[in-house]
Structure 1
Amino acid sequence: MRRRRGVLLTAALLALPVAGPSRAAPALPAGWEAQGQCGVVRSGEVPLGGAEVTLYQAGRGEGGRPRVLARARGGADGRFVLDYRRPRDPQTVLYVLAGVGPGAGGVGAGASGDRRTPDGAGGREADGPVVLAAVLSGAGAPPELVVNERTTVAAAYALARFTGPDGVAGPSPGLPNAAAVAHNLADTGTGGVAALLAAPPNGGLTSTLAEFNTLANLLASCVDDTTGDSCDRLLDLARRPGRERPRDTLRAAVDIARDPGHDVAALFALAGTAERYRPALSAAPDAWTVALRYDGDGHELDGPGNLAFDADGNAWVSNNYRYGPDPGVPVCGGDAVLRFTPDGRDAPGAPYRGGGLYGAGFGVTVDARGTAWVANFGFQGMGCPVDPKPLERSVSQFAPDGTPLSPPGGWRGAGIVQPQGMAADRAGTVWVANCGTDGVARIPDGDPARAREIATPGLHKPFGAAVDPAGRLWVTGNGSDSVQVLAPDGTVERTVTGAGLRRPLAVATDSRGNAWVGNSGILPVPCGDSTAADLAAALAGEDGPRPGASVTMIGPDGSTPAEPFTGGGLFLPWGVAVDGDDTVWVANFGGHRVARLCGVDLSACPPGVRTGEPISPPGTGYTSDGLERNTGVQIDPSGNVWLANNWRTVPVPANPGGHELVVLVGAAAPVAAPRLGGG
């Protein structure tokens, strides 16, 4: 009966009036369901007639190639019908490309090595510069698919890290998760702005909506072009330094997404020649990063500290405080761990409570079994009547489905007091940086009964923790301006000082075993003899990058460059993450910006940029008014950069917590999850 309904739908769609014929691909393998999809190609409200429309199934895995499922030529009114057989696998990613204008006789990006589709029909390249796109999968097929500049920008940014010379391809879960994120930007049923982007905590509260429309106007400048000058200008400006010139509008948008700080002012000026979508930016941004805010149900995030991804790309998020909308009303410690789906919704049953959770800070990790661990630091707002001391001495553990595995008081012992950073390795060991006792807890095989305390002489106020590809633990000492390296069995190998280490916070490792440390310069973490009031006092008079703000690179042997790195928008570094290209991303606890530095893989950096030098604009970094005071930064399997708005820009002691996660869509090279050690 299900297959018959699909056949009837196809017949009904084919009965709709269109000016051009639909050309369906021949029979495809069993397990596919007959389907029809009608749609329209337009720019703003203006139909684009005669477009060559091609529906693709994205390639699977590394080196995969897309498959042509159907083709159609649009009528004079821009309408088309695609008749195809839809794969039943929900992880399959489908997308539509529409070649518009002279020479657009085929919009395929190489469906196979010989440029032929699996059914023997020829796959042809687009000859014209105007190629628009829309992601069909990820949120269900709309009754009518709209393909326009907005859907093209959404597809380009969400799929930026999966779009290559041969089209869209990549592994799960990264690629299907990325396709779902595209629907947070554009509504493919209307061609308008997606509901998530249009409403708080996005909408008029940040400039992202206007920036998104400005990018759509930028592509419209080429659609409107009658002489070719605007198209040539777009393709020239979008070209990434050292890379080939993009051949069409879709690939121009992809290149802008991948190098958002290049030729920003000139691109903004070109966008102003086709003001089709409103509201739009009134001035050029610092970079074309697209920053989305996620807040779950709007009543749960209050001081998110850090996050960690599981194998499906879900984000587990630690939360300092119980949610309270009024910053003047005291809040007590957070009693839940949050879990967001890759497109920013609450995961089933989330948030999760129990297991001894209270006032979690920077510590959260996911181990090789998919179990989540959270460090109970004991954060609470000034005025909360609860005594935090009995509650700041444990870690909590949760099964992949959110069921608490730790007892009501959490897992205790092993010197755990005011725990902060956590990390897990491939062998199953979980590590905890105990900020309150100047030690580290080692939990072998994730078995709390075997946990033991490891003394770390040379470290005061251990804070950040990361495991390298060799299974060694790197721990920062915020109160000792040092970093310590522990062997997999817990033996202390070395202590690193100097090299610009100054009030260090987070640490991350790359695929070659280097450690990258964020030096705040001034921030005392509120453990031991320091309090949250001391942290707030250190922020007083903030009017520029703080003294000592930098990043230190430490080699596997403990060697360091002569000077730390200071460019790219480093303001008040806190969180550090390394992406799949070994590029380094730094969150700032001030300045509303993210820094991006060249890592050890110079091939991933612009020509002439060396290790540690900025990729993001040197003076500003990637700024966004959607960012507040950021602590954690992590990168998911789709290449999205997630940041925690931990504190408000102007923190109030009773409830200083921020209320959002911020995601830079498609900005980084994807990272496999869970992250279990550098590579």
Structure 2
Amino acid sequence: MSARPTIVRRTGNRVGKSLFFKKSCSMPNSSCIATPVQLSLASLVLALCAASSVEAATLRGTVQSGEGRRSTPLSEVAVTLYEATTGAPTVVGEATTDRSGKFTISTPSKTSSSIFFVTADVGDGALLVTILGPDLPSRATVNELTTVAASYSMAQFYRTGVISGNSFGLRIAAGMSNNIASPETGESSRVLQKSPNADETNSLRLTRSLGNLMAACVSYSLVRSTFFGLTTPEGGTAPENTAVALANLARDPGKNVELIFALTLIDSSYYSGLFGMPDAWTVAVKVNDSGSNRYMFGGPAAIAFDTDGNAWIANNVVQGGTQSAKHVMVLKPNGEPSDGKSNTPKSPLSGGGILGVGLGVTIDPFGSAWFSNFGWGGDNPTEEGNGSVSQFLTTGKAVSPKDAYQGGPVRGQGIQSDDQGNIWISSLGNDSVFVFPGGDPCQSSGVELYPGSQPFGMAIAPDGSAWVTASGGILGEHPSAVGKFHLNGEGEAELDFIHFVGNALKAIIVDSAGNAWFSSQGDSTVYAYSPDGTQIGAFSGDGGVFHPWGITVDGEDNIWVANFGPLELDSNFTQGRVSRLCGANPAGWPPGKTLGDPLSPDTGYTLPSAGSEVLLANGTPLYGKNSEPSYAPLMRQTGLSIDQAGNVWTCNNWKPRFRTDITSNPGGDGIVIFVGLAPPPAKLR
């Protein structure tokens, strides 16, 4: 390990032995020197003030193997309470469990600007962990299931062998840990135990199977050493304890799947594990609560994170029909709907001319969220009609008028803000690319491309230039192309170059070196171009890439792809998947890999059902009452984004049955969050 815990024993706030007082006095030799009595009084006042500003706390807990009545207390176990930092974590307190597995730790403070976590060292590399979050609870349980939650949620912060990182990302990760296991009871979270999770996905059972694996590691040294070997990174060192080994698995879940599955069958401390071997050891949490059962998710299409970690989500249609949705969603960093408290938005949002938002959502550097309105059914935004671009403050207040900003873009798709607040829009409806200089729609500037170009995706390069995909039509009925633009000195958009490539191009992203990566849905390929417009790669088939749509880049410059599946009338895309490919940065490649090689398994990262049909947030089946059930919790994907804890959020945009969906009921349900799977990006997207 490159970082070791720093033991800082804190027994409370103390006033120093010497105090220095300085008083102004205009008279020489006057009595301006504090007396001993005054010093004692001042010391007492300072001590009382210091004590009143910090609230002491006591953490009582249990270390056990298993959960509930099936659990076994672990005695004589060293327990340590930590506060995470950007370096080695700080020890806040220590204890040893009694014969009942109980422990008590007193602390000088119950809140942290970062997070608290507690470990239980069972010995010989068997380490159990519980994430407590920024506020210290009164009680905690430490067991194998809380360790699964800790290692997966903190996977991107466990790379040095200890939990370490910035407080913003750590707090987001702590919230996701609570979505897997309760730190108070050590049982599966309520989020995983109920719809849209439970047996609608395999995550509840998968986490319990991993709990059984951890229990076997606690009991058997041979299992432990075997697991360490199976989770040793290529060219890296073996993990020193079970928590680190599990974090290694979370970051590389497609490795040694079959052998690890065999280890999960040795112990049965946690019942209701997996029935069979998964495609990969990913843990995913599905969320579909928009904040209102009246305005449910209906084709979420794209996600942008604000500076508080809230997810702003574009939404296509009214669930169950083809009408344009007049609401968009905002979720907290843990996936709950934003509730409007503390000057935050209240989800779902309406107003500002919102009308059937497609792929377009972005956050500008001045505190506004922007949506491009595409329109569905009979509600199509036009130059004369219903608006094209909507703007909200990140408090949730609409800035644009009730019919949105008129003129310029028509049926917008991709929309992005650059670092100066210039808003770039792909205007599918009039074959053009527009920019609002400084975010001012009254100064709109546009460039018309070729007939039938139908611009779709939009991405901003590090130098401020804008890359655009010309789809050639959603179904690819016209030629497709990729182009690059810049803003000239007069605040006008100018085209640098355009190259014809692919078929039915969709989303585009630019990596840290300025290379553009984009999805070609029609020919099931991901293309890569250098900053000067030279093609550097075309990748298809591997890693689960299958008619891709959404695309993003992680903190190591590797590429993530959301797969939509084929746009064919008879297709029933029940194997939704997310893919990961080696990007253009060799430092992010595992040994033996090169540009475009798959980092995800052949299936991609999936989320199968565990046997229950998919339900909407109001409890009705995905396709409505009395309909044929669907068992595809991960559907046709469009946009995906990575938050600052490394969670991959991906949009269930369309339902699986294309023939039925295209005519009457397309809107997919909810967001799927793959926990701790990706290195956090260097900047918010």
Partner of 2:612: none
The alpha carbon displacement at 1:387 in A equals 6.7
Structure-to-structure mapping, 1:130-149, within 5 angstroms? 130-137=126-133, 140-149=135-144
Counting only pairs closer than 5 Å after superposition, residues 34-49 of structure 1 correspond to structure 2 as: 34-44=56-66, 45-49=71-75
Given residue 289 of structure 1, which amino acid in structure 2 is its aligned partner?
Answer: T
Aligned counterparts of 1:605 and 1:218: Cα–Cα separation in 2: 29
Partner of 1:4: none
Q: Which residue of the partner structure matches residue 397 of structure 1?
A: 391
Q: Determine the structure 2 residue equivalent to 1:73.
A: 96
Q: Distance in 2 between matches of 1:575 and 1:442?
A: 22
Unaligned runs of 5+ in 2: 1-7, 15-49, 341-345, 473-478, 566-574, 609-632
Q: 1:567 to 1:429 in 2, by over 3 A?
A: same
1:648 aligns with 2:643: no
Q: How does 1:514-663 map to 2 (within 5 A)?
A: 514-521=515-522, 548-561=523-536, 563-590=538-565, 591-617=575-601, 619-625=602-608, 626-650=633-657, 651-652=660-661, 653-663=663-673
> Is 2:245 the counterpart of 1:235?
no
Q: What is the letter of the counterpart of residue 137 of structure 1?
A: G
Structure 1 residue 413: Cα displacement: 1.1
Is the counterpart of residue 158 in structure 1 residue 130 in structure 2?
no
Letter in structure 2 aligned against 1:314 = N
1:157 and 1:562, CA in 2 relative to 1: closer, same or farther beyond 3 A?
A: closer
* CA deviation vs aligned residue, 1:558-607 (integer Å, no higher than 9, x gap): 11136434411001100000011111000011331111001122232221
**Residue matched to 2:500:** 497
Normalised by the length of structure 1, the TM-score is 0.83
Does the 8 A contact of 1:66 with 1:166 survive in 2? no
- Residues paired across the two proteins, number: 581
Out of 397, 401, 408, the position equivalent to 1:407 is 401
CA contact (8 A) 2:114 2:168 kept: no
- Are residues 132 and 562 of structure 1, via their aligned partners in 2, closer, same or farther at CA, if it must alter by over 3 Å? closer
1:93 aligns with 2:86: no
- Measured in 1, the distance between the counterparts of 2:311 and 2:416 equals 15
- Tell me which residue corresponds to 1:26: 11
Q: 2: distance between equivalents of 1:562 and 1:66? A: 42
Is the counterpart of residue 337 in structure 1 residue 337 in structure 2? Answer: no
Deviation at 1:427, TM superposition (A): 1.1
Determine helix, strand or coil for the equivalent of 2:103. Answer: strand
CA shift digits 1:656-678 (9 cap, x unpaired) = 11121000000001125533xxx
Measured after TM superposition, the shift of residue 165 of structure 1 is 2.6
Sequence identity (%)? 37
C-alpha spacing 1:563/1:167, structure 2 compared with 1 (3 Å):
closer
Question: Residue 6 of structure 1 aligns with which residue?
Answer: none
Equivalent residue runs for 1:22-421 within 5 Å: 25-27=10-12, 31-44=53-66, 45-60=71-86, 64-86=87-109, 88-89=111-112, 91-100=113-122, 104=123, 128-137=124-133, 140-165=135-160, 167-225=162-220, 228-296=221-289, 297=291, 299=293, 300-322=296-318, 324=319, 327=320, 330-347=321-338, 348=340, 349-380=346-377, 389=382, 393-414=387-408, 416-421=409-414
Distance 2:260 2:350 in 1: 48
Alignment match, 1:511: 512
Q: Is the 8 A contact 1:365 1:424 kept in 2?
A: yes
Question: How far has the Cα of 1:410 moved from its partner?
Answer: 0.2
Structure 2 CA distance for aligned equivalents of residues 335 and 377 of structure 1: 11
Question: How many Å apart are 1:134 and its aligned residue?
Answer: 0.3
Structure 2 residue aligned with 1:467:
460
Matches of 2:185 and 2:111, distance apart in 1: 25
CA change 1:506–1:442 in 2 (3 A) is same
2:20 aligns to what?
Answer: none
CA contact (8 A) 1:629 1:649 kept: yes
The residue identity in structure 2 corresponding to 1:456 is L
8 Å contact kept, 2:537–2:596:
no
391 and 673 in structure 1: CA distance in 2 versus 1, 3 angstrom threshold: farther
3-state SS, counterpart of residue 622 of structure 1:
coil
Structure 1 residues 203 and 257, CA gap change in structure 2 (3 angstroms): same
Deviates more, 1:642-651 or 1:396-405: 642-651
Offset at 1:141? 4.3
Shift of residue 352, structure 1, vs aligned partner: 1.4
1:315-341 CA-to-partner distances (Å, cap 9, x unmatched) read: 10011113x4xx3xx352111121111
1-structure distance, mates of 2:288, 2:199: 15
User: Which residue type is aligned with residue 583 of structure 1?
Assistant: N
- Give the CA deviation at 1:275: 1.9
Within 1, Cα distance between the matches of 2:542 and 2:499?
22
Give unpaired runs (5+ residues) of structure 1: 1-22, 105-127, 522-547
Query: Which residue does the alignment assign to 1:481?
Result: 480
What secondary structure sits across from 2:536 in the alignment? Answer: coil
- 1:463 counterpart SS class: strand
Hey, what's the Cα distance between the residues in 1 that align with 2:556 and 2:380?
45
Q: For residues 347 and 498 of structure 2, what CA distance do their matches in structure 1 show?
A: 40
Distance (whole Å) between structure 2 residues aligned to residue 627 and residue 392 of structure 1: 32
- Residue 669 of structure 1 aligns with an amino acid whose one-letter code is P
- Return the letter of the residue paired with 2:230: L
- Give the whole-Å Cα distance in 1 for the aligned partners of 2:581 and 2:65: 37
- Distance in 1 between residues matched to 2:640 and 2:99, nearest whole Å: 48
Partner of 2:587, secondary structure, is helix
Rounded to whole Å, the distance in 1 between the matches of 2:63 and 2:84 is 21
1:71-92: CA deviation from partner (whole Å, max 9, x where unpaired):
0011121110111122544x42
Q: TM-score, normalised by structure 2?
A: 0.82
Q: Is contact 1:550–1:566 with CA below 8 Å preserved after alignment?
A: yes
1:93 maps to amino acid: I
Whether the 8 Å CA contact 1:24–1:83 is kept in 2: the answer is no
Q: How much does 1:186 deviate? A: 0.2
Q: Which moved more, 1:302-311 or 1:447-456?
A: 447-456
Q: How many Å separate the matches in 2 of 1:76 and 1:87?
A: 27
Cα distance, 1:351–1:477 mapped onto 2, change above 3 Å: same
Whether the 8 Å CA contact 1:24–1:82 is kept in 2: the answer is no
Deviation string 1:458-509 (CA, Å, 9 cap, x unpaired) is: 87010000001011111001112210000133211111234xx222100011
For the 8 Å contact 1:24–1:84, the answer to whether it is kept is: no
Describe the SS at the equivalent of 1:276: coil
1:619-674 residue CA offsets vs partner (Å, 9 max, x unmatched):
21111123111111111111110001011112533221112100000000112553
Change (3 A) 1:132 1:163: same
Does the CA-based 8 Å contact 1:519-1:550 persist in structure 2?
Answer: yes
Q: Secondary structure at the match of 2:56?
A: strand
1:339 counterpart letter in structure 2? V
Q: Distance in 1 between matches of 2:368 and 2:117?
A: 34
1:454 to 431, 447, 463: 447
Q: Work out which of the two has the higher radius of gyration on C-alpha atoms and give 1 or 2.
A: 2
| Cα distance in structure 2, aligned partners of 1:240 and 1:198 | 32
Q: Distance in 2 between matches of 1:562 and 1:474?
A: 17
Q: State the secondary structure of the residue aligned to 2:217.
A: helix
DSSP-derived class of the 1:229 partner: helix
Q: Structure 1 stretch 79-88 or stretch 635-644: which is displaced more?
A: 79-88
Query: Which deviates more from structure 2 when the two are superposed, residues 431-440 or residues 448-457?
Result: 448-457
Distance 1:292 1:391 in 2: 39
